[in-house]
Structure 1
């Protein structure tokens, strides 16, 4: 089935809600799928010819517009071996593989990893491309060059247009050729819909629960019960989220605030997720000073990034700090503000 046929079938059975902007975004994805369906062309000497344009699609737009859903449809209907992975998780794999290659004395540490991808798949689907780390910025261009040269097409989603990737980053001029590559070798499409389907799923639903709540149901609704996990590499350490799918994460207070994490960890988390379901937040007394400070830092990071926060806690925000031991007034105020229906980038 073509993507248009698959999309129409999902509309007919009620799985999807009609959205003209999503229907328009199907066309560039189908152009890439059709190229893949043509198969690899051969020269007169039997060698594979270099892959032709378009080498992929770059689908960008606001949160909740359906980018990940459309990419999943593309992945499902791919006529060739395809891999779907969150961008941060893939870059983590790449950095680890390059570290191992350097330890073996490999001259070009990127090459073995890229060659392995080229042997295994013909299309790579990246969800939520964001370039915020200089290490990623310095190698992603070479990675795409190698993949394209090996005939691997790339489909990616992002909240930003290509020109805004790694904006204000260190040595950004070195990154500009990659932006040009994206704009010339891939189909760039803006999914410009006024409708936030993720907010629709949360419409009318509370996002702050005292003494428990229907968080499992919310998780199922936002992720369709799927979890791929996510590992964030922060200053040489791994921050692992077992429950993660398409920008939605779920973690307990103990997992995020009961461990020796710092501002860098929470900033990386805030960049990687658009919705966080945070469970089992206790009342914080004098004996939990470290946990309280981490919680304050976590909320600050989520607030500044306008992450949608869903919480289950033992008490209302103003009562989470017993006896006023901590500088908690700002955190309580932010927790209240983040409950508003229009909160979230």
Structure 2
């Protein structure tokens, strides 16, 4: 693990193996400098345990950076459960996961991520209080997906203004890859703003629903990243923007809800050299963790949550302008800002 390319001085990485339920998982705590490590739990069918570990390491670091730039009083962590999990054992698996979270004594606070539903978190909540994103209090809390989508839309608008000099999205072509909770909510918001949508999803039913509701054009999964559009919004899994894709894609702006969209430094450099505007994923998709944090800490009402999400737009613009001024890719600029915030918090602690 210590030699893994995604290892970044993580404070703690826990491997979970519960023979009674079949739970196999990793919990990665990247940093608690700003507070308890906050980050969702992902359930996915990984190629092997090494791939799951790498995902947990990358995602937890991204949560540290996301929370630091969003001003959220939480550090960064992430859990991944190795699937598949049979339906008849699902409740037991998530209850066992909840007990493991509880054993960390508040160093990690879990929530919803890809493959995990509110019903799963309800089982987690029966055995630990270190869980969020399930109960709304005066509008603050519950399902974070709509809030994540709202932040992505705000960041996307800021990136479009930066790249195209546009004050609105009317008539712009936007390709959305992935129509889960975030992607479908983003599609609704963009359609309301007059954007023309191209959509793709593993589930053809969700793709067809988006086409019916938003007059979207369907696309194949292996084609949407190269679609002839103005803006690409990856809202599925990470690592989709490889160097090959970066050199062939036609969109002028990238702004989506998926974490870790860019596969590696070579892909990031290729995007920058081609003049493609990239709104760093953990900057624009912070709306969900802003809500989850407010629910967990009971810090602020819905108006305060809304104000923090609205701040995603100006923050995105500042990062893109700094990238242009310094000749540095926007992802690198955001990383440097986040690391500086974390370093300052460690010194203060």
Range into which the TM-score falls when normalised by the shorter chain: under 0.3
Structure showing greater Rg: 1
Q: Compute the TM-score of the two structures, normalised by the length of structure 1.
A: 0.26
